[in-house]
Structure 1
């Protein structure tokens, strides 16, 4: 016990001595500090100066010093690329007792009314320890204020289709000084029709206005007039941005958006596809499509001289089968109905509803040449208009539009074929062929899956062996999975999973090969024997969100696809 106590005491003393040696020999950083000077108000998009000083309060010279500043993504170095995050400046030697200020010109890019962290670092060596790099670090929470120039986008909550309306963008100088050379840029919905604007002296084009100066505290605005022809309840977005240029770089001060909706039109228009809601109807290649277009006058006045147009878009339309009481433009594929060919379009009284129909057949086959030939659909772009404008509507005409897209279901094939002579598959079949009674013969079965125009998922292929047929376990596949066999049920299953469109057309098909064997009886002499029942494929068509299926005939000992069996050979079971 005494010996153990002495040993423990020695270990404690050795540890204390080691710590003391480490403590006194470890390189000690001198007294070096960094300090941020709080800037004045910082506005988004307006340059500001940030002062940072570093002080050497030690009695040693700092060697090979470097000054670094790291910015968050919301702040940039003025005149530098916006994604430059680090500023580095070699300093050289920093003498004892020195205090050195550094001033950086920065600009805030975003993050109004928030705090962002800026980090300053000073890296250096000491003359008596040149191999060790020391680093002093200081962080500063920089407060960001309002945009230098803030925007407000004002649009009506809703408009009538085709009605002219105003969009106003207000500019407000939030700084305590003048802001010069401001660019205001508007982004419109693609269907917006520009009519006019005020501030012609500032307008560069229909989307940009240049303000040479916005005095401190001043407000200004731009008003744009135009119209949108859109479907009932459709929503569109207007966007505005204000920016200014400094040192060859453009800096945004504010970005704002506003949404506008299309009010229900005085003239409503809807369509049925083969009597069904177009949003739920799924067509197939070769189908005949009957479009029924219903229109109604919801206004308090008669609407006269109506014109209905239907633009047909999609390569699966077979225009040679088109049947319509309209004028057809075969260059633009647009049908037009007027009172000249449909008398009912002369006048539509208040509350009255009518319809016009036409028929067209879809092509029987898809055209697939490349990987992108997938997800086929046919579209119908409808427009109905009248020069009559109901009271209180500021539009040149009454117009409504409707767009319909009918998706086409894909097509998937599974082909089951049987072989005796099949060395190319890498599986060798044994036994006599034609088969003989009481002698075992082996066969290979190929499952090949071809998928056409839509991606499919959850693909499963199944077939059942006839009683007496055995699965040998020899199986191959060029997919990630292989067929498996359930001996109790006799079902062979291939869980193939996802199959992309054009598989087997543009790229090689998925294929699996497995071996089965069968010993015929004397009672089957002179007969053709079924080996495998019909092969069935089930999957989900991802494009139309519907089930899809395919099947292939049963496989018999006749092996009609095996090219190495003479065509005139009697293939029935022999004694």
Structure 2
């Protein structure tokens, strides 16, 4: 017997040693064939088993070397099919950058889609687009075109994309606007507008339009406009230029800024475009006569209906010159002013709703020395109720436009009179209201209540509780109505609401919650209020005989006034089985034995 050897705890019989045997050629051929077969299968899987973009379509741009801003130009996008396959359901999508528009379409249109259909082998399909560049801050516009299509016999959609940059040079019509960056209130100043045709062709039918702020008072213009604030620029030849001079003044408070916009308008294929736009912003410098308006000691005070308001107009001489014969006016604007509450001794003009103080009724206005300051105080009440007649009657404002004026002008000041203005705009709070009611006889609600009424000891009686929410003078967000059921009051699960959200009940705390995301203004004032109904059941105990049972504790309402940002809250008392809102309920009976 041969020897035995140990291997990992197992015994194996010894085998006589033999010379290693060489693999035969047939085995090597089998191995090589297997490798080739597996590799070929994998290659076929990746080539044929998955879809890939064949890149057989071509998308090519043709565009001008450069274009003028405000002058139409043409871009061509050619689609080619050099393959021997039909490209089906092809569509071309042109994406435009901000500042470049398709002529005749809205300036905000950024994507233009054009259906091509089937593209036959070897064909070339040109697509032209009439474009126009608008704006002053463009130097390069990148256009992109994407062709989406299917190859015949495939359901997969492929795409080819191409991009091109279009160089933008100067505007076809240039416009320059010159004027001061800041002036004194009511100081006269000049605005100079220069325009020029930079293109190689004449322009006809152009218009130059200037838009002024309400505080601007136009004076002399050279030349005069053909229409209010509009000049016709007829037959503007190549290289032709001209200018317009406008004189005027702004009346405003220190630190206010007023934009004055000028634009040249022209029609291209029947649609009018602002070919070029310029804006001059003019600020109001510190006035020699300072003026400010405060309400109840604040500039941003928020008022309530039926509230007494104390207005203060403060003024000060900031110059080295004494001002004489000063006039102060305050014009009151707003539907919530109760003009009947004005005191008889105030200099009030009810036709213009304007208060006026001069040295005749306020002697200290005869002379205001350098550095001297003063104050005028008057009182007004807001109306006791909102003047609501429509859903849109909301967001009430109390506006006061004050002005101080003197014929005295400090030396070196280019004005004929010294004028300063100040304004105050104070918001008025909107309001929410909540009414909690309980019923036994409530067929109109669509929820039937059962049980004895008046309630009896040991016998369950069902009630419907109504939450009625009203809103006044403002929209409200995040409106929440909550209340707690008393111990022993059972939630039946029957709920209804006039809005999408319905009340929910937490059995652990007894809390009922109704969440309303958004509540439109004047619900319940104009139109129906918002209402929720839920049913509860109460079974009286012997110690409640002759008494009324509290079904729901105090109801709380909270919501945010969208106009003022104020967190408004309201409450209503708890509801009991006395049912004062149920016309069919007998009064004062209490729980029966």
Q: What band does the TM-score fall into relative to the shorter chain?
A: 0.7 to 0.9
CA distance in 2, matches of 1:333, 1:398: 24
Identify unmatched segments of 5+ residues in structure 1. 23-27
**How much does 1:437 deviate?**
3.7
What's 2:233 paired with? 210
Matched residue of 2:167: which SS?
A: strand
Q: TM-score, normalised by structure 2?
A: 0.77
Give the match for residue 15 of structure 2: none
Tell me how far 1:228 sits from its aligned partner.
0.6
Cα distance, 1:327–1:520 mapped onto 2, change above 3 Å: same
Cα deviation for residue 397 of structure 1 reads 1.6
Change (3 A) 1:510 1:249: closer
Paired position in structure 1 for 2:589? 571
Structure 1 pair 341–502 and aligned structure 2 pair: CA distance change class (3 A):
same
Q: Deviations over 1:491-522 (max 9, x none)?
A: 43333443322122223322232313132224
Structure 2 residue 338 is matched with structure 1 residue 318: yes
Are the equivalent residues in 2 in contact too, given 1:118–1:142 (CA < 8 A)? no
Q: CA deviation at 1:151?
A: 2.7
TM-score (norm 1): 0.79
Does residue 112 (structure 1) correspond to residue 163 (structure 2)? The answer is no
Equivalent position of 1:234 in the other structure: 256
Q: Which residue of the other structure, out of 151, 168, 172, is the alignment partner of 2:192?
A: 168
What 5-or-longer segments of structure 2 have no aligned partner?
A: 1-26
Q: State the distance in 2 between where 1:94 and 1:150 align.
A: 47
Q: What pairs up with 1:491-502 in 2 under 5 angstroms?
A: 491-502=511-522
Match of 1:518 among 536, 539, 547: 539
8 Å Cα contact 2:292-2:423 kept in structure 1: no
Q: Any idea what the Cα deviations from partners look like across 1:341-400, whole Å, max 9, x if unmatched?
A: 222222222211112222222221123222112222322222221222222222222112
User: How far off its partner does 1:180 sit?
Assistant: 4.1
CA deviations on 1:152-203 (whole Å, 9 max, x unpaired) are 322222111111112223335555x4654454332222221111233x2887
**Distance in 2 (alpha carbons) for counterparts of 1:484 and 1:35:** 63
Q: CA deviation at 1:277?
A: 0.6
Shift of the 530–196 alpha-carbon distance from structure 1 to 2, 3 Å rule, reads same
CA deviation map 1:318-353 (0-9, x unaligned): 222111644333232222222222222222222111
The structure that has the greater radius of gyration is 2
Aligned-partner SS, 1:498: strand
Q: State the Cα deviation string for residues 519-548 of structure 1 (Å, max 9, x = none).
A: 2224x4333443433222233323222222
| 8 Å contact from structure 1 (residues 327, 335) kept in 2 | yes
Structure 2: distance between partners of 1:102 and 1:492: 65
Does structure 1 retain, via aligned residues, the 8 Å contact 2:430–2:473? Answer: yes
Query: In angstroms, what is the RMSD of aligned CA positions?
Result: 4.8
Question: What does the per-residue CA deviation read over 1:43-62, in whole Å, with 9 as the maximum and x for residues that have no partner?
Answer: 1123456678899999x9x9
Alignment of 1:295-444 (within 5 A): 295-323=315-343, 325-444=345-464
Contact 1:202 1:210 in 2 (8 A): no
Match of 2:8 in 1: none
- Residues 1:456 and 2:482 aligned together: no
Q: Does the C-alpha gap of structure 1 residues 450 and 390 become closer, same or farther in structure 2, counting only changes over 3 Å?
A: same
Aligned equivalents of 1:121, 1:443: Cα separation in 2: 68
Change (3 A) 1:340 1:424: same
Question: How far has the Cα of 1:316 moved from its partner?
Answer: 1.9
Query: 1:139 & 1:85 partners in 2: Cα distance?
Result: 14
Query: Matches of 1:89 and 1:527 in 2, distance apart?
Result: 80
Q: How has the CA–CA distance of structure 1 residues 100 and 485 changed in structure 2, closer, same or farther, with 3 Å as cutoff? A: closer
> What is the CA-CA distance between 1:115 and the residue it aligns to?
2.9
1:503 aligns with 2:526: no
> Match of 2:13?
none
Instruction: Give distance in 2, aligned partners of 1:294 and 1:401.
Output: 11
Shift of the 337–372 alpha-carbon distance from structure 1 to 2, 3 Å rule, reads same
Superposition deviation, residue 237 in structure 1: 0.9
Structural mapping, 1:11-90, within 5 Å: 39-48=64-73, 72=96, 74-75=99-100
Equivalent runs, 1:72-151 vs 2, <5 Å: 72=96, 74-75=99-100, 107-110=132-135, 112-117=138-143, 140-151=164-175
Q: For each residue in 1:296-322, what CA deviation from the matched residue of structure 2 results, as whole angstroms up to 9, or x when unmatched?
A: 122221222222222222222222211
Contact 2:146 2:159 in 1 (8 A): no
Instruction: Give the Å deviation of 1:68.
Output: 8.7
Q: Distance in 2 between the 1:381 and 1:543 partners?
A: 22
Residue pair 1:475, 1:483 contacting (<8 A) in 2 also:
no
